[in-house]
Amino acid sequence: MSPNGTLAGKVALVSGAGRGIGQQIASRLVAEGAAVVVNDLDAAPAQQTVDQLTAAGGRAVAYPGSVTAPGFADGFVAAAVEAFGGLDIIVNNAGYTWDNVIQKMTDEQWEAMLGVHLTAPFRILRAAQPVISERVRAARAAGEPVPCRKVVNVSSIAGLGGNAGQAGYAAAKAGIVGLTKTLAKEWGRYNVTVNTVAFGMIDTRLTSTPAGGDGAIEIEGRQIKVGVNPELLGTLEAMIPLGRSGTPQEAAGAVYLFCTPDSDYVSAQTVVCGGGFMF
């Protein structure tokens, strides 16, 4: 919303931005002057987020759909170019948890976790490469400076230290760290920084259990159990040096750090946004 913000003139993709952390990431980027393509699995929350951002004077468009769908990545990247004429920031945030101990985990559960948390970011980044490289070549041919572009991938403390009942989720979140480090080496020549934010306990619909029962969300026709038992949540929060779960706004702030010019010489890094929690 600020024409003089730190991200003025930048164009960003944010997956999973219709709710929770992703919505706060999109809001923060827009507040700092960026134009954002807002993705969510469901059209309604994606459009709701866009309406809020544009009503406040920001620039945003919705691109709903599953990040795992064939052809999604190409369309997502194209939406940024068509709506705003470029691409400067990519935040791979979409995801959910589908937990089970390994002897009970189905192939469907395993593949769903790798699909949304690892394969989808890979496809989005692969689709973005021609757009970024073409613009870098054009800038160099014109004798213009190449702006620093940003990729921020979202991981989890489960991907760094493991977590019982989350073999698929943890494996995918560990994989995104490897993808980050590889892309940082491949895309340095384009002046692109690639970093990871690993979230700890953040208060979202995936961690909150409604009073009086189990929580569940619907993902592509499946009912996925979510939420943390309140007693277990209290135990987990006691292990966090700051003594509490983080907010979606605080999680978004950690992502924003990697999007700013102040991080233009920081790449291939993983920062834990977890209130000081260490394995």
Structural domain spans, the chain: 11-202+247-273
Taking the domain 11-202+247-273, which CATH number applies? 3.40.50.720
More confident residue, 202 or 214: 202
Please report which confidence band the pLDDT of residue 279 belongs to, taking 50, 70 and 90 as the band edges: confident
The CA–CA distances, whole Å, from 217 to 68, 100, 206 equal 17, 16, 8
Q: Which entry of 169, 190, 256, 265 is annotated as an active-site residue?
A: 169
Tell me if residue 63 is catalytic.
no
CB 16 within 8 A of CB 94: yes
Contact 56, 79 (CB under 8 A): no
DSSP state at residue 145 = P
Q: How many CB atoms lie within 10 A of CB 78?
A: 15
| pLDDT of the residue at 109 | 97
> What is the pLDDT at residue 210?
54
List, as one string, the DSSP characters of 108-143: HHHHHHHIIIIIHHHHHHHHHHHHHHHHHHHHHHTT
Structure-block tokens of residue 247: 């907010």
**Spatial separation of the C-alpha atoms in residues 34 and 18, rounded to whole Å:** 17
Report the distance separating Cα 24 and Cα 33, nearest Å. 14
* % of the chain beyond a pLDDT of 90: 85
Ramachandran area for residue 80 (φ above 0: left; ψ -120 to 50: alpha; else beta):
alpha
3-state SS, residue 78 = helix
Q: Read off the DSSP letter of residue 220.
A: T
157 in helix, strand or coil?
A: helix
pLDDT grade for 270, boundaries at 50, 70 and 90: very high
